[in-house]
Structure 1
Amino acid sequence: MALKLKRGVNAKKEELTVMSISEIISELLKAVKEHRDVDLNKYCPGGPDSDFEYSTQSYTGYEPTSMRAIRARYNPYVQTRHRIEQLQQLGHSCDKVEFIVMGGTFMCLPEEYRDYFIRNLHDALSGHTSKNVSEAVYYSERSKTKCIGITIETRPDYCLKKHLGEMLSYGCTRLEIGVQSVYEDVARDTNRGHTVNAVCESFHLSKDAGFKVIAHMMPDLPNVGWERDLAQFAEYFENPAFRSDGLKIYPTLVIRGTGLYELWRTGRYKSYPPNMLIDLIARILALVPPWTRVYRIQRDIPMPLVTSGVEHGNLRELALARMNELGAKCRDVRTREVGIQEIHKKVRPSQIELIRRDYVANGGWETFLAYEDPHQDILVGLLRLRKCSPETFRPELRCRDDGDEDSDPRSSIVRELHVYGSAVPVSSKDPTKFQHQGFGTLLMEEAERIARNEHGSLKIAVISGVGTRDYYRKLGYKLEGPYMVKQLRK
């Protein structure tokens, strides 16, 4: 996610308004030259030059994750070891670990620093001291504590083929891309520094490479309005150019030290009243299709630091209550997953069936396979399968006899395989839980059947977390580049 607007060292806060195209290009070039995050947006707090000077980009330094990072002096190895120890002391099993690299646009940083950071994440799990990323990944794959995935926050303009290739080498499996709005005028007014078309292109490239795509969206931005906010989410879910796998909904917050704070202070911006915001979120959740997961609603910024915006810490809960009043139902992945249903509604699935949903998104044919109890609307496990489009650029995802880059690559890719419920340790089974009961294997068998018989694919690939590669080896897959690959027989 990008930073607040900064128009040079001597710019006054009252001058923080819309930047011209030449100014945006100048700032982008300056940021790249100085190896720092892109510093354009009006609304994002944090960063070395902000009012929260020891924080990372887009954070205040007072969030729980930020405070743990500060205590470790942002050392990736120390952060990882300390967090694992904390979770173990709380009684959690830590044989499966997922990393989320957050705090700005990671891919705009120098390659040397990025390699150091990723190398130390893997080394913290394996205990090995590696010389490079590939060595770190090799030992991490064999570690007792398995890295099941890495998520990296980025921007559409740092999500091109070069960046995607590097992130694959890190063991990254999921991307969080800052979108904020689907309106070109809003992207311009908030100085995003890229177009909405760049968002669509980044989604297409990312999914063709196998990544799961999570978008950050911000309702209540300046000059939008309630009706237009609702309309943009309807467009987001209905337009095949968007349709990400997941969503983080971050209603706009006014925080001191940002350009938006100056607009608010001078009366040129006003946040939605609490009830209006709750009603908007409720209506947005009613639009979410069953293959999309809403990961978060509202930022994890402490309320005392928020000047204007969200006034409740339980916005999702309030929105779901409002949905009940409206007679609507939220059918996103998170609401339906079996673990959430067991905790909140004290119900378990009684009759589990394989459910298939097909849709078009980002230039490709997507199939969402799931084991569900359709009568209670409970989700046990899911798989995301994509027929690779002709624009697929990874050589591992094209058949060897396919020399034409514009032709059908004749391959399919599994972008996600996930069985929900309480975590079960690796190589263990618990008949009262749903993990390690064979649902994953059944989903993979169905995906292979669809890829072979319907896609006409000659190979199927999986974007796998480094620590889960052995699972796919047992299913007949072999490592090819960053993917686990299997040849399909007719």
Structure 2
Amino acid sequence: MELIVIGGTFSNYPASYKRQFFLDMINTINGSVSPNLEAAQLANETAERRIVGISIETRPDWVDETEVKLLRKLGVTKVQLGVQALDETILKRINRGHSLESVAKATRLLKDAGIKICYHFMPNLPGSNPGKDLAMARLMYEDPRFKPDFLKIYPVQVIPGTALYREWEKGEYVPYSEELLRDTLLSIKLITPRYCRIDRLVRDISKKWVAAGTKATNMRQYLQAELKVQGKVCQCIRCREVKAADFTLDPDLNDEVIETLGATEHLLTFEKADRLFSLLRLRLPTVSSALFSELKGCAIIRELHTYGKTVAHTAKTSSKTQHRGLGKKLMAQAEQIARQAGYAKIAVISSIGTRDYYRQLGYERLGYYMVKNISSLH
């Protein structure tokens, strides 16, 4: 089970409220009442319904050392950042209140803690145009300061009662036509690198609330149909996932090196015939995170994911992709890469419900991570 806490700026709530909120969520999933957060997390390690990931939404300028420490204490493994634009002029034009520097700082802090990152990106903002939108996407994908693991694209929609609505009423803001918007989104999709997953392509808002801008809630379907007509494909992770197909191919192991601010990363994947079966994100930091002593001298596995139809963790046989040993093979490869790069230890940002899996691979819990000594590997 994955938990997603969405809406608003989660970091803005008091720390005591956040701890209680998470305790109540985990107790509900466990079906029992634990006296504190640590006890609830321990109970979930062997619960019937185990948590395999926790995601929250926040702003880049609310991410600092104190917040990252609390997020890990809560068990958060993924953070969605409301970046909106990667252009200082546009950010000022919309009174966003944060800068590209704060985006870069938040991204590095989170990645150094092993946390996966999703950017929220909004084409058609005031002050932008299709060319700028595409340029911002290139910057996001290619600049080592950014490079999100996941992306949610939210084209601007004008909602009554907002400042943008008043600008639109006066003719000071004009949204793209539906055709121009689709062309813009298609261009962004086609330059999306293989390391990134486009989670969403439009915000699912009721048509009755939208005064101007797209009202299509199935934008991905439109774009996929157009790509097929053009004979082109999107290389993002979501478009390559094996989905519910049976495991009938012998996939190849691939290693893509990604340079980021403060670290070299390896995206290890099992793929075959444009189908993605499993992936692992390995981070080799130039300097260990100063926030967590257990990460000193560690390489960090930020994500391990096998795609396909969900199979119960107790199931031993299946025709699907999961429980085929792909994850264990990726873990072994990551350990070898880390050792060859000079790391004596490797850490995993394990969710609370998957700690047992890593224990079976020789990892031990240290603080908020699962850690293994790899100095003796051959």
Distance between the aligned counterparts of 1:396 and 1:324, measured in 2? 50
Contact 1:338 1:349 in 2 (8 A): no
- Tell me what 1:378 maps to: 275
- Give TM-score, length-normalised by structure 1: 0.75
What corresponds to 2:325 in structure 1?
438
CA contact (8 A) 1:286 1:331 kept: yes
Which residue is equivalent to 1:357?
A: 256
Q: Deviations over 1:277-314 (max 9, x none)?
A: 11111110101111110001111211121111113221
SS in 1 for 2:243: helix
Aligned residue in 2 for 1:35: none
Q: 1:194 aligns with which of 75, 89, 98?
A: 98
SS of residue paired to 2:78: strand
Whether 1:480 and 2:377 are equivalent positions in the alignment is no
- Provide Cα deviations, 1:157-206, integer angstroms capped at 9, x if missing partner: 22111111101011110010110100001111111111111001100110
2:114 aligns to what? 210
1:366 aligns with 2:265: yes
Separation in 2, partners of 1:304, 1:463: 42
Counterpart residue identity of residue 234, structure 2: C
Question: C-alpha offsets along residues 240-295 of structure 1, whole Å, 9 cap, x if unaligned?
Answer: 11101010000001001111111111110011000111111111010111111000
Deviations 1:401-439 (A, max 9, x none): xxxxxxxxx320000000011000012133311101100
Work out the CA distance in 1 between the residues paired with 2:248 and 2:162. 48
Structure 1 unaligned regions, length at least 5: 1-96, 400-409
Kept in 2, the 8 Å contact 1:256–1:307? The answer is yes
Counterparts of 1:7-86 in structure 2, within 5 Å, are: none
Q: Does 2:170 correspond to 1:271?
A: no
SS in 2 for 1:172: coil
Partner of 1:183: 87
Q: Encode CA deviations 1:428-471: one digit per residue, 9 max, x unaligned.
A: 13331110110010000000000101x21010000011000000
Q: More deviation in 308-317 or 213-222?
A: 308-317
| TM-aligned CA distance change 1:142 to 1:348, over 3 Å | closer
Cα deviation for residue 127 of structure 1 reads 2.3
- Which of 188, 203, 225 is residue 299 of structure 1 equivalent to? 203
Native 8 Å contact 2:269 2:276 kept in 1: yes
Number of residue equivalences: 376
Match 1:389 to one of 276, 280, 286: 286
For the pair 1:459 / 2:358, whether they are aligned, the reply is no
CA RMSD between the two structures: 1.4
Q: CA deviation at 1:348?
A: 6.3
> Does the 8 Å contact 1:429/1:437 carry over to 2?
no
Tell me if the contact between 2:294 and 2:366 (Cα under 8 Å) persists in the aligned partners.
Answer: no
Q: Which runs of 5+ in 2 are unaligned?
A: none
Q: Residue 424 of structure 1 corresponds to which residue in structure 2? A: 311
Among 16, 26, 31, the residue aligned to 1:127: 31
The letter for the 2-side match of 1:209 is: A
Which residue is equivalent to 1:332?
A: 236
Contact 1:286 1:323 in 2 (8 A): no
Matches within 5 A, 1:254-265: 254-265=158-169
Conserved? CA contact 2:343–2:375, under 8 Å: no
CA distance in 2, matches of 1:312, 1:395: 44
- The answer on whether the counterparts of 2:288 and 2:298 sit within 8 Å (CA) in structure 1 is no
Alignment equivalent of 1:415, drawn from 277, 299, 302 = 302
* Percent identical: 38
Give the corresponding residue for 1:9. none
Q: How far, CA to CA, are the matches of 1:247 and 1:398 in structure 2?
A: 27
Q: Tell whether the 8 Å contact from 1:383 to 1:414 is kept in structure 2 after alignment.
A: yes
Contact 1:208 1:393 in 2 (8 A): no
Residue 485 of structure 1: SS of its match in structure 2? strand
The 3-state SS of whatever aligns with 2:203 is coil
Q: How far apart in 1 are the matches of 2:258 and 2:58?
A: 26
C-alpha displacement of 1:349: 5.4
User: Given that residues 274 and 311 in structure 1 are in contact (C-alpha distance below 8 angstroms), is that contact kept between their aligned partners in structure 2?
Assistant: no
Once the two structures are overlaid, the 10-residue window that deviates more, 273-282 or 130-139, is 130-139
- Can you list the C-alpha shifts for 1:348-376, whole angstroms capped at 9, x where unaligned? 65331101100102321010000000xx2
Cα deviation for residue 116 of structure 1 reads 1.3
> What letter corresponds to residue 426 of structure 1 in structure 2?
H
Q: Secondary structure at the match of 1:393?
A: coil
| Paired residues of 1:243 and 1:362 also in contact (CA < 8 A) | no
Partners of 1:98 and 1:150 within 8 A in 2: yes
Rounded Cα–Cα distance in structure 2 between residues aligned with 1:391 and 1:228: 36
The separation in 1 between residues aligned to 2:12 and 2:254, in whole angstroms, is 40
Residue 398 of structure 1 deviates from its aligned partner by 4.2
The SS at the match of 1:175 is strand
Indicate the SS of the match to 1:146: coil
Say if 1:463 and 1:484, in contact at 8 Å, map to a contact too: yes
Q: What's the CA shift string for 1:301-340, capped at 9, x where partnerless?
A: 1112111111322111112222334443201110100016
Q: What does 1:78-227 correspond to in 2, within 5 Å?
A: 97-227=1-131
1:448 aligns with 2:323: no
